[in-house]
Structure 1
Amino acid sequence: MERRRILLVDDNPNDVELALNAFQEDGLGECDVMVANSGPEALAVLRGAVPLPDVILLDLKMPQMDGLAVLDAIRSEASTRDIPVVMLSTSGETRDIRDSYAHGASAYVIKPLDFTQFRQAIQTITAFWAYLNCRPRLG
């Protein structure tokens, strides 16, 4: 199975650690996970990434530059516009979900508070978007 590249964008170090643990335990194959702790850092990573990630997991609520602004920047660039972006947020607010899709999110997942459920959510997202989903190769 081909190695997949994932960009995880989250300002919460605990959520980053939980996600990285989930990737290590996923059993789906090896993933190269790049981590960005802010919106500007995520965009810098994308500008230098070769190859580009197969999927981006993007936190919605971040200081400095929120997930919607990052998503807008990703969708405005020809090189990154078609990368699946899964919004990960603790918010279940209808407005946040609608805004995310309006800005071009591929999916919206509410972060489970339970570690086991969070790990399962990360593994399910990875299984679908990085392995099952077919899309043209970019970058």
Structure 2
Amino acid sequence: MHSDPIDILLVEDNPGDVRLTKEAFKEGRIDNTIHVARNGVDALSFLYRREGYEDAPRPDLILLDLNLPRKNGEEVLEELKDDPTLRRIPTVVLTSSEAEEDVVRSYEKYANAYLTKPIDPDEFIEIVRSFESFWLSVVNLPPAEEQ
């Protein structure tokens, strides 16, 4: 079980989903900080610590939506998993798409998990809590690696 605070990068353009995710994590048992990138370009800037994100922490975990403006989640996933300094950050696709081709492509691009967001807000919060319980209480995350 983790005792250190966890930095999570949430890559999500829907303000309602950002709010629900933060709400679910706030009530959780693990001390965490959620950083939000609202599009794929900002997510990569955060991860590479450039363009206003020079002091960004290296996230312990990434929650990535697929349907993003400027650069979609699939492109972000491919770029970060191609980079030896970023690829070991566990990346979980959290998206509204249930399309089999999206699931297959995400795993082909080395997503660590694929979760479909339910439409019902209470179910969405329950998914995030289950995610937190598994990824932050059961799984051993890799230690932070500085650039």
Establish whether TM, by shorter chain, passes 0.5. Answer: yes
Match among 50, 65, 70 for residue 64 of structure 1: 70
Aligned to 1:8: 10
Residues in 1 aligned to 2:40 and 2:81: alpha-carbon distance in whole angstroms: 14
Q: Report the equivalent of 1:109.
A: 115
Structure 2 stretches lacking a partner, 5+ long: 50-54
Give runs of ≥4 in structure 1 deviating > 3 Å.
none
Match of residue 41 from structure 1: 42
The 5 Å alignment of 1:47-86 reads: 47-48=48-49, 51-86=57-92
* Maintained 8 Å contact 1:58/1:88: yes
Identity %: 36
TM-score, structure 2 as length reference: 0.88
Q: How far apart in 2 are the matches of 1:131 and 1:47?
A: 27
CA RMSD of aligned residues (A): 1.4
- Residue number among 21, 24, 48 corresponding to 1:22 in the alignment: 24
Tell whether the 8 Å contact from 1:55 to 1:130 is kept in structure 2 after alignment.
Answer: no
Q: TM-score, normalised by structure 1?
A: 0.92
CA contact under 8 A between 1:5 and 1:54: conserved in structure 2?
yes
